[in-house]
Structure 1
């Protein structure tokens, strides 16, 4: 009986330990098995060395999921296709984990993301050589969507060349261009260039150039000393004081209420002139004045002789009035009553 009880306790302990272990596994990573995921695939026509299953998938540094499968297109889609017609892509499938609402939103908006330039690119994670899959936006015209002859099992996100691959490709092109270059001819040209430079440098008048440089340095030193003396003797403090005084006067002038009122009146006058200029009455008035001036010009031109006679008569009348005025000042009675009567001529008044 005691032995059976001991076995019963041992079995209970084993069941309890297995339950705790299953709970820990579920907490640590088992929940991802039941979380909603979005699966898409990417096609690469270059090497993806360093990218493995389980590698991180991120969007601009934000982790979103991991790589779930890496296969060849010849295995996934081109099993029965002739060899010369195979695309031979590397198919990388990924799983993005999120909430149900987020996954549904991604599934609905993924084609629009791709149309705007969402591309997958392999990048190095530090200096370990391990690669991960990075999602980012690129020029959709520079990296267009691939044309394939099969129907993908999952949504497709086009790929973009990795920076590492581009650097390696550029280095390979540079090495190939070096291999194609004529190194011997290049060396001979460099030798001739060195000899020519040596000959030219040997002909340079170093002593004369050195003397000219010394003279130039002395003249520059003299000029600097002269400028220093001029600046020292200049009435800088007085000039600064005058500037400060002028600034104060200007501030006082700007602070005057009359100036502000003048500016307001000028603005009002400008607005009135603008309003008057915008009306059609001003154009009509100007046209009427122009016609009146033309009529006066024509009238004066037709009666030019009569006007001259009238002016001369007016001048004579003015002279007569001036003479009358002077006479009135000298002989007021003569102007009012006339001249005295002439003296009677009697016979006895005559001289005998």
Structure 2
């Protein structure tokens, strides 16, 4: 019986293995969906550490996935094998597969000239990194020049920018270094002097300077006195007297202005009469003796004629 069943078991085993192989092929082909997509390879050079970036990590353009990391290596092993160790750049070479359905290869050079840069970014607190493509600003382009290299790249090269975490750490290190170079002892002395001067301004020096505290006390006393005067009604009386004085002064100025105007008119009239007399005397001197006496000139007396 066992001899008759052995061929059936063998066929069943082949069928199971074939089904498993077909299932794996379907998962690999249709699950990933990458084998039927047209793509191209680009690479970037990074001078800092790429810890947390692994093969298969996403490549995103402004947050949209456009590819994945294919390989990560050192330029010394890829391009600089014949270069002495001391002269090697030892950049990290990150090669990426870009889906042509997302970005067209013929547009890549135009994007790079417009400031397209690659940068490692983190996926938050997980520590997993990915490559982010984006257009850098003019200040970043001027500050971070593309890394120099002297080999013929196998694929189009996209310039890189430093990792933002590395920039923060570098900034902190610069601050710490500047603090180490600072004259802390001299700064402490200046600060102590400033506090001493501030104390003198507040409390005074016991001589001519009474200090702000005493000035505030004197001001409070003055305000109390003003409040007392206001409560007694003396301030209201003072205001009424001031208003009455202003009214009287206005009336006085009005009357003086009227008297001044009348006096000026009288002086003008007298001047005209004097001019007429001078004219007659120059034209006919005998008329001053034989003619009628000229009208009497009445000088102004306090704005009135007599």
Q: TM-score, normalised to structure 1's length?
A: 0.55
**Other-structure match for 2:46:** 44
Listed one character per residue, the Cα deviations across residues 304-346 of structure 1 (whole Å, up to 9, x for unaligned) are: xxxxxxxxxxxxxxxxxxxxxxxxxxxxxxxxxxxxxxxxxxx
Deviation at 1:182, TM superposition (A): 2.5
Listed one character per residue, the Cα deviations across residues 128-157 of structure 1 (whole Å, up to 9, x for unaligned) are: 222211101113444444432110000000
Matched, 1:4 2:10: no
Ranges in structure 2 where 5+ consecutive residues have no aligned partner: 205-210, 231-306
**Other-structure match for 1:86:** 88
Ranges in structure 1 where 5+ consecutive residues have no aligned partner: 223-352
Say if 2:41 and 2:97, in contact at 8 Å, map to a contact too.
Answer: yes
Say if 2:203 and 2:214, in contact at 8 Å, map to a contact too.
Answer: no
Given candidates 125, 129, 149, the residue that maps to 2:123 is 125
Distance in 2 separating the partners of 1:194 and 1:209: 20
**Other-structure match for 1:274:** none
Distance in 1 separating the partners of 2:21 and 2:143: 55
Higher relative contact order (CA 8 A, sep 6+): 2
Say if 2:39 and 2:98, in contact at 8 Å, map to a contact too.
Answer: yes
**Other-structure match for 1:212:** 219
Listed one character per residue, the Cα deviations across residues 150-175 of structure 1 (whole Å, up to 9, x for unaligned) are: 10000000011222111111100001
Runs of 4+ in 1 over 4 A off after TM superposition: none
Distance change >3 Å, CA 107–CA 171, structure 1 → 2: same
Distance in 2 separating the partners of 1:85 and 1:6: 65
Listed one character per residue, the Cα deviations across residues 234-287 of structure 1 (whole Å, up to 9, x for unaligned) are: xxxxxxxxxxxxxxxxxxxxxxxxxxxxxxxxxxxxxxxxxxxxxxxxxxxxxx
Deviation at 1:202, TM superposition (A): 1.1
Distance change >3 Å, CA 207–CA 199, structure 1 → 2: closer
Matched, 1:32 2:39: no
Deviation at 1:61, TM superposition (A): 0.6
Matches within 5 A, 1:100-115: 106-115=104-113
Given candidates 64, 67, 70, the residue that maps to 2:66 is 64
Larger Rg: 1
Name the structure with the higher helix share: 1
